[in-house]
Amino acid sequence: MSISTTSSDPLRPGQSGDVFGQVARLSRNEKEHLLVLIQEDLDGGPFVGDLPELPADDAATVGRAWRQTIARRIEDMRSGKVEEIDAIGSAERLLLKVLRKYAP
């Protein structure tokens, strides 16, 4: 079953059951793709991030993928591609918000 990226007419009464049935018959990957398309439509912009992938069965493949991902993220931090955050300051601000909200 393919997923169209073009929007169609709004659902008419009694049509939603058919749509839910079609979604139920999709594979896991197709459902993830559909979810991303819905998120893009609701947010008004393109999806930001990586699509989740099914875990590999082979431990060596998983380990290699983790090492590649970690190396890529470290390089992104070193090159300034990602914005640094003050983790301690962020935790302190969160704690203050919680204390203000729930403290007696």
User: What pLDDT digit, counting tens, does each position of 53-93 carry?
Assistant: 666 578 888 889 899 999 999 999 999 998 888 888 889 99
Confidence grade of residue 2 (pLDDT, cut at 50, 70, 90): very low
Q: What is the mean pLDDT of residues 13-19?
A: 67
User: What pLDDT digit, counting tens, does each position of 31-47 carry?
Assistant: 888 888 888 777 777 66
pTM for the full predicted model: 0.34
Residue type, 12: R
**Structural domain boundaries, residue 50:** 1-54
The reply to whether 38 and 59 lie within a common domain is no
The reply to whether 28 and 73 lie within a common domain is no
Give kind and range of the element (H or E) at residue 88. helix 87-102
What total of structural domains would you count in the chain? Answer: 2
User: Which are the contacts of 74, defined by CB distance < 8 A and separation ≥ 6?
Assistant: none
The reply to whether 15 and 62 lie within a common domain is no
Phi-psi bin for 14: left (phi > 0), alpha (psi -120 to 50), beta?
Answer: left
The reply to whether 48 and 3 lie within a common domain is yes
Burial 32-43 (b: 16+ CB within 10 A, else e): ebbebeeeeeee
The reply to whether 59 and 103 lie within a common domain is yes
